[in-house]
Chains A and B, each alone.
Chain A
Amino acid sequence: MIEGADPHLEMGALYELSLQKAVPPVLLFPQDQGFSGRPSRRRATCALRACSMTAPASSWCRTIASTGASIPRRSASECVDDGPVLDNVLMDNEVDMLAFPAPKWHGNDGGQYIGTECMVIAQDPDSDWVNAGTYRVSVRDKKTLSIFIEPGKHADLIRKKWWARGEHCPMVVSVGQAPALGAAGGGDRAGACLRVRRRRRADRAGRSSSCAAASPACRSRTMPSSSTRASCPRPQELTMTEGPFGEWPGYYTSCGPEPVLQVKAIYHRNDPIQCATPPARPIYPGTYFGTAGSALIRAAALWDDLEAAGVPGIKGVWKMPGGGSRFINVIAIEQLHAGHAKMAGLVGGRLRVEHLSRPHHHHRRRRHRHHQSGAGDVGGGDALGPQDRDRHHRRRVDRP
């Protein structure tokens, strides 16, 4: 716990320094911004312990792969009508995003980023698909956030559907969820699935959909500490210059006009804990198990895919945690035939198309919709499309 660090660059510098440790500590920065600044010891401990599950051990990876936990599926979850996140509900003139810490993480960042370990939740207007993904979010004024979503990401596909109808895209930004959910949001697939309770469709059409998320693992702790309900206007209506931002490949992005989120309501529990994982230059391992883009979950997903593609004899899979865990894959095999290693390398290098969703995603989804009735599953921000989930669902059934 580090008291008194300045959200303007100092927190970011301390975070980056901490990454020099082989197993970096999780940092907690109490802030006095109208809150007590002191989350309960129990809640702080839960958050820190969950975040600090680094475990690069292949056994973890094997466990996740063999149990299919890297595959999005509906877990036994519970819908709730109430929860600590509703301790405080701020509407209309009470909305003030400036009341929450939004650090400037890197020296050349073009804004104060509240969303680096966030879940941006959006619903496909044509189906029951609710997506939760991690996209960078910065605070612009009391009621406005900037959001950057790369073209082709799931939330981008979803918002473009709303825009094509001439409507704003409703979104919920969670910045204080349980670390496991953040890892799911930033992962290629949901490591932990959650259900999002939606109000009636009429409500949604009136842009008043509100979401309460819960997971069975730790019900009271999993509720987001704070979240923001917002609408994302069409770019032809409103954009703001967003960025640059020090991103996970280790470089600053260029900046340009991006859509904004107009904040309609803020929900937060008393003494909320906001999560953050500002990107850092590789090889600093900014993406451990409990954070967005977890190398562990991505490695397990790759292991699953390699086996599904027919690569035999796999003994271990790992991804370099630095650089968003996208740069270097390590695949260990028990060599069974000449060319086996080359096969594993070629297949492994083609399996994880992490940047882009499949273009035929929507069409395929509708065809398989009978697999997905009920409340929406939540896929990762870069998650594979539902057609891939169906493929894996089928494969799992075939497994002995």
Chain B
Amino acid sequence: MIDPMLLPERRAEGDLTNSRIIIYAVRPCAWKDVFPAVNAVDPGYAKEVARKWAGKVKFLDDIAI
């Protein structure tokens, strides 16, 4: 067990597992103002459509608009 990052307690128990995740999810600050627009339905239009189809389309019954 060469890995120095293993916790002493876990090492003593023979538990060699660890869990790390790094998510680098940012928009570059230098050009954030010209970053492409998000592909998402306009919230106002989504509400309008949901209102129109409420009661007629089952999946709309239990989703948050």
Give me the interface of A with B, judged by CB distance under 8 Å.
2, 5, 9-10, 12-14, 16-18, 20-21, 24-25, 106-108, 246-247, 250-254, 279-281, 335, 337-341
- Contact among A20, A250, A252, A280 with B63 in the assembled complex (CB-CB below 8 Å): A20
Kindly list chain A residues whose C-beta atoms are within 8 Å of the C-beta of B17.
335, 341
Given A9-B45, A339-B3, A341-B18, A17:B38 Cβ within 8 A: no
Kindly list chain B residues whose C-beta atoms are within 8 Å of the C-beta of A253.
36
Which residue of chain B has the shortest Cβ distance to A18 in the bound complex?
A: B59
Which residue of chain A has the shortest Cβ distance to B5 in the bound complex?
A: A338
By the criterion CB–CB under 8 Å, are B59 and A17 in contact?
yes
Given A17-B65, A20-B64, A335-B17, A251:B38 Cβ within 8 A: yes
By the criterion CB–CB under 8 Å, are B36 and A251 in contact?
yes
Q: How large is the interface on B (under 10, 10 to 19, 20 to 34, 35 or more residues)?
A: 20 to 34
Question: Can you list 16 A-B pairs with a CB-CB distance of less than 8 A?
Answer: A2-B57, A16-B46, A17-B41, A17-B50, A24-B59, A25-B58, A106-B39, A107-B41, A250-B38, A279-B39, A280-B39, A281-B40, A335-B17, A339-B3, A340-B16, A341-B17
Instruction: Give chain A's interface secondary structure class.
Output: loop
By the criterion CB–CB under 8 Å, are A108 and B37 in contact?
yes
Kindly list chain A residues whose C-beta atoms are within 8 Å of the C-beta of B36.
251-254
Q: How far is the CA of A397 from the CA of B65 in the complex (A)?
A: 53
Q: How far is the CA of A10 from the CA of B3 in the complex (A)?
A: 56
* Given A13-B49, A108-B37, A250-B40, 4 additional A-B pairs, CB 8 A: A17-B41, A17-B63, A18-B59, A246-B39
Distance to closest chain A CB from B62 (angstroms): 8
Kindly list chain B residues whose C-beta atoms are within 8 Å of the C-beta of A341.
17-18
- Contact among B18, B41, B63 with A13 in the assembled complex (CB-CB below 8 Å): B41
**Residues 1-15 (chain B) with a chain A CB within 8 angstroms:** 1-3, 6
Distance to closest chain A CB from B64 (angstroms): 7
Q: How far is the CA of A18 from the CA of B6 in the complex (A)?
A: 44
Kindly list chain A residues whose C-beta atoms are within 8 Å of the C-beta of B58.
25
- Contact among A107, A246, A281, A339 with B45 in the assembled complex (CB-CB below 8 Å): A107
By the criterion CB–CB under 8 Å, are B46 and A17 in contact?
yes
- Contact among B37, B38, B53 with A2 in the assembled complex (CB-CB below 8 Å): B53
By the criterion CB–CB under 8 Å, are B41 and A16 in contact?
yes
Q: How far is the CA of A247 from the CA of B38 in the complex (A)?
A: 9
| 9 interchain residue pairs of minimum CB distance | A246-B39, A251-B36, A338-B3, A20-B63, A13-B49, A16-B41, A13-B41, A281-B40, A252-B37
Distance to closest chain B CB from A267 (angstroms): 32
By the criterion CB–CB under 8 Å, are B46 and A338 in contact?
no
Kindly list chain B residues whose C-beta atoms are within 8 Å of the C-beta of A335.
16-17
Distance to closest chain B CB from A151 (angstroms): 19
Q: How far is the CA of A51 from the CA of B59 in the complex (A)?
A: 17
By the criterion CB–CB under 8 Å, are B63 and A281 in contact?
no
Q: Is B33 an interface residue (CB 8 A)?
A: no
Which residue of chain B has the shortest Cβ distance to A12 in the bound complex?
A: B41
Kindly list chain B residues whose C-beta atoms are within 8 Å of the C-beta of A5.
53
